Amino acid sequence: MKFSFLKYLLYSIMAIFLSSCNENGGIADGDDGGEQEPEVRDEYNYLALRSDGLLLSIGDTSGKVTNMGQLTQENFNIILNAVTSSQTHTYIYGIRFDALEGAIFKFDKNLEQSEKFILNFPEAFGNNPGLMSLDWDESNQQLIAVVKAEFDIDGANLPCKIARIDPETFEVIAVEDLDLNEQQYKTIYSSQLINQKLYVSASKSNSIINTDLLEVDLIDKSFVTLPKDDIETGIINLGWKPGSQQLFGFTPLTNTSYIAAVRPYFYNLDDKNAEAINIEGNISAINLVSRTFYNSKAGEFVGFAARDGFNLFFFDPGTNNFSLTPIIDEDDLSSGIGIIGMKKAQ
């Protein structure tokens, strides 16, 4: 089965395996103390989605994983950067390759049920198109997508267009004069819509190291490559705190023996400068093709990172505090996973 992002998921699996040993080469020692541990109470449970459609709930403090069942019993590969939410629904794009078919699953947050809608693309998008990203446009009550022609051909030099999608009829309409492939961008790693500007982490090759940050103006129907003088590589796993002028993300590190090492960064959209966020020790990326979730109630970014196994990471932009919660029951996880929602713990 063809899947253009499999090589990146395999890369991340290697990272998780190698990072299960600590930096001194050993496994972290357990606590042999005889005192009984106090009961751990979670404040939030985070809804995580695997690329095979399995839904999981993970406690923010306990790290306990609860299986919530399959999003669909059909064989769809979820594109984790093509998952976005309105106030009432989460929209999840999946694709299968025999024969090529893409669908959006409209997940009702209250009912916790989903409906499937097969996407029919106009001829303007070429043969076998698929979504590489999906964002919710609150002001227009529409979905914004990056659509790539010949989705099943890795790195194809073909149109990579912007589209608006009606969340009721799921009609796909091209935004005129916006084709990222006009400047040879072929691979999309992450996206974030802020007002009517779509910020896209994209590459002209299949190298995560050579990722650019694009600013797509949906009103002017134009796009530019933003400067990244303070970033050696690129920025992925984009996240955004509503009302701010900063993107959060991770930059892949080079010249390090820590496989798939990344460092958290802020990118200021006003002055176009990047600032590294200092953390203790190294962490590895879990999934390279996704965005970072922001919990507005807790005021923090949440995602996955590898250090001595799988972890939830939390970053509070108000205090610059970065922390990890080890995840138990790791067998339920995979490198193709992302946070798509949260609930207050009972």
Strand partners, 136: 143
Q: CA angle at residue 212 from 211 to 216, to 5 degrees?
A: 135
Coil, helix or strand at residue 223: strand
Handedness of CA 166, 167, 170, 176 (dihedral sign): positive
State how far the Cα of 243 lies from the Cα of 230, in Å rounded to an integer.
24
pLDDT tens across the length of the chain (346 residues): 344 433 433 344 344 433 443 333 332 334 455 566 667 899 999 999 999 999 999 999 999 999 999 988 788 899 999 999 999 999 999 998 877 889 999 999 888 888 999 999 998 888 889 999 999 999 999 999 999 998 877 766 788 999 999 999 999 999 988 999 999 998 999 999 999 999 999 999 877 888 999 999 999 999 999 998 888 899 999 999 999 999 999 999 988 888 889 999 999 999 999 999 999 999 999 888 999 999 999 999 999 999 999 999 999 999 999 999 999 877 788 879 999 999 999 8
Q: Chain centroid to CA 54: how far?
A: 16
pLDDT of residue 11: 40
**307 token code pair:** 């250090």
Left, alpha or beta for 305 (phi > 0: left; psi -120 to 50: alpha)? Answer: beta
Give bridge partners of residue 276 from the DSSP assignment.
265
In contact, 301 and 346? CB cutoff 8 Å: no
- Residues, the chain, total? 346
